[in-house]
């Protein structure tokens, strides 16, 4: 594998972000969710206007994983009031780490996670937290390996399906 670069996304990257977001979410969840619910979620969550607004939010940060000029994954972080749950203003939320299926097991997710750790250090966050679907065993294992522990659950809506996410956190100070 050649050099993997993690680059901060800007509004100029909205279509690239939309493409990798739709691809990786579909690869991860299409087999275990209805086509109707997947379409509704993808259309809403990855709409150009919504992603542009998120990219412009000064409390949200997107990073692209680029390998040989190809985007192979991305990361979304939230701080302050951009967090999806109001846990603590001094925390960093990892809202999304997604990697294209063909690059699973190639340390791309770990490189994106390292970027999250760097951001947490820069903002002096007291902890990092996230929500991960209880049936996404690969992701739960990844976060557990990186020191996260479950502290709660919450409901994630995919179309009209309510799913349970594990809330996990890693205390930093």
What pLDDT does residue 87 have? Answer: 62
Domain ranges, residue 62: 4-171
Average pLDDT over residues 69-73: 96
**Total structural domains in the chain?**
1
What pLDDT does residue 2 have? Answer: 74
- Residue 113 appears among annotated catalytic residues: no
Choose, from 63, 98, 113, 143, the residue flagged as catalytic: 143
Over 60: is that where the pLDDT of 1 sits? Answer: no
DSSP 8-state symbol, 33? S
> Residue 18 maps to which CATH number?
3.40.630.30
Over 90: is that where the pLDDT of 85 sits? Answer: no
Write down the mean pLDDT value for the chain.
Answer: 95
169, β-bridge pairs = 129, 149
pLDDT digits (tens, 9 = 90+) for 11-25: 999 999 999 999 999
Over 90: is that where the pLDDT of 74 sits? Answer: yes
């Amino acid at each position: 594998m050649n050099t993997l670069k993690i680059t901060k996304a800007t509004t100029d990257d909205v279509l690239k972000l939309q493409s990798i977001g739709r691809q990786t979410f579909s690869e991860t969840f299409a087999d275990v969710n209805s086509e109707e619910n997947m379409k509704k979620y993808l259309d809403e969550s990855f709409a150009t206007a919504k992603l542009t607004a998120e990219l412009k939010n000064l409390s949200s940060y997107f990073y692209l994983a680029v390998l040989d000029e190809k985007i192979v994954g991305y990361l979304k972080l939230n701080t302050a009031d951009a967090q999806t749950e109001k846990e603590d203003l001094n925390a960093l939320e990892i809202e999304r780490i997604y990697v294209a299926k063909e690059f699973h097991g190639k340390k791309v997710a770990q490189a994106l996670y390292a970027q999250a750790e760097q951001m947490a250090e820069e903002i002096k966050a007291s902890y990092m937290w996230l929500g991960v679907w209880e049936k996404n065993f690969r992701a739960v294992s990844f976060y557990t390996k990186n020191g996260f522990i479950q502290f709660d659950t919450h409901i994630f809506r995919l179309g009209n399906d309510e799913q349970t996410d594990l809330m996990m956190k890693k205390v930093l100070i």
